[in-house]
Structure 1
Amino acid sequence: MAKSITNIKRMEIPKEKQHERDLQEVKEAVTENKEAILQGIKLLKSLNETGTLDTAYAFSQSKHKAIKYLVEEISKDHYAQMLENLPEIVFMLGDVDMKSVREATVRLNEGIQEMNSTDPEQKTSILDLAKALKDPEINRSVTLMMQFLKGMGRQ
């Protein structure tokens, strides 16, 4: 019968050869991920220029203190109502048709710009209102407002 193997000698790779293999592996990874590395460098540069990198580093070094201060601040009474409403706000945002809100916001901004470009002392008579309804833009706006009020008042 053959003797059982009791002593296993591992092949030892010389440090220089292992160092060379590791360096080659890093070179290949850099070559394969060149764009991501360059983007990462740009991101780090931007974070450093704005001071955000220092803030993130400081936070990571004393995260327990920072979290403690954050929890203490949020626990104050004047934040209680906001924290209670936060889940409802998140769910409500899921129900909002953002495309419609965006369109309404653009129109609202255009209306505000138009309002700001007119004389605030200008008077409008009933006859002016009747004439204004002939203007297609004003008529469309009045119609939209009436439809909005109708939809809002519906039960």
Structure 2
Amino acid sequence: MAKPITAIQKRQMTEEEKRAEALAKLKAAVGDSEEAVRELLTLIEQLHESGLLEAANALLKAREDVAKIVVGQLNQKPVTTMVNHAFALAGLAASLDPERTAKLLEHIASGAIEAYEETSVEPKKVGLFDLFKALNDPDINRAVHFFLSALKAIGQRLRNDS
């Protein structure tokens, strides 16, 4: 009768066998995506011809020095101020109703374009009497009322901040 197996020995691959297996897997992968490999080689060739590949290699070799320069630039007051403004604007944009904001911006843009076209064709001097007369126009009155309301709301908020 045969002896029972008590231990299974795992076969250890030699370095040469590991390399041969890795090479076989690589060949299979290249064969499966031949077109992609060709495009990648074309891209690398174009990067080399334009000098960008050499620049990228130099950048990678000097990455510690480049990182120090970048961090130094990012720590300057104007950059941190700009980043803070960007975050504040992003917070403001997130708090606005997108539909109402889009509608308001659309009205402002189309009104500005229409006004530009009108004033470029028929430039005339506007006097004080013309301003009073314009207030009788319901559209102008509506816009003036809008801006006066906006100014009042801004003023109230400014008073609350101080």
Task: Give TM-score, length-normalised by structure 2.
Answer: 0.51
Question: 20, 24, 30: which is aligned to 2:28?
Answer: 24
1:80 to 2:77 alignment: yes
* 1:94 matched residue in structure 2: 91
CA distance in 2, matches of 1:98, 1:53: 46
Pick which of 9-18 and 124-133 moved more: 9-18
CA distance in 1, matches of 2:108, 2:72: 42
Query: Which amino acid in 2 is paired with 1:86?
Result: V
Task: Provide the aligned length of Structure 1 versus Structure 2.
Answer: 142
Structure 1's 126 and 98: CA in aligned 2 closer, same or farther, altered over 3 A? same
Structure whose CA Rg is larger: 2
Ranges of 4+ aligned residues in structure 1 off by more than 6 Å: 11-18, 50-54
Structure 1's 129 and 7: CA in aligned 2 closer, same or farther, altered over 3 A? closer
CA shift for structure 1 position 152: 0.7
CA shift for structure 1 position 112: 6.9
SS in 2 for 1:138: helix
Matched-pair identity in %:
19
* 2:105 matched residue in structure 1: 104
Query: Which amino acid in 2 is paired with 1:141?
Result: A
Structure 1's 19 and 87: CA in aligned 2 closer, same or farther, altered over 3 A? same
CA distance in 2, matches of 1:18, 1:57: 27
SS in 1 for 2:152: helix
* 2:70 matched residue in structure 1: 70
Task: Give TM-score, length-normalised by structure 1.
Answer: 0.53
CA shift for structure 1 position 117: 6.2
Query: Which amino acid in 1 is paired with 2:69?
Result: Y
Structure 1's 122 and 56: CA in aligned 2 closer, same or farther, altered over 3 A? farther
Structure 1: 5+ residue runs without aligned partners?
none
* 1:118 matched residue in structure 2: 119
Structure 2: 5+ residue runs without aligned partners?
158-162
* 1:151 matched residue in structure 2: 153
1:120-135 equivalence runs, <5 A: 122-135=124-137
CA distance in 2, matches of 1:71, 1:154: 41
Q: CA RMSD in A?
A: 4.9
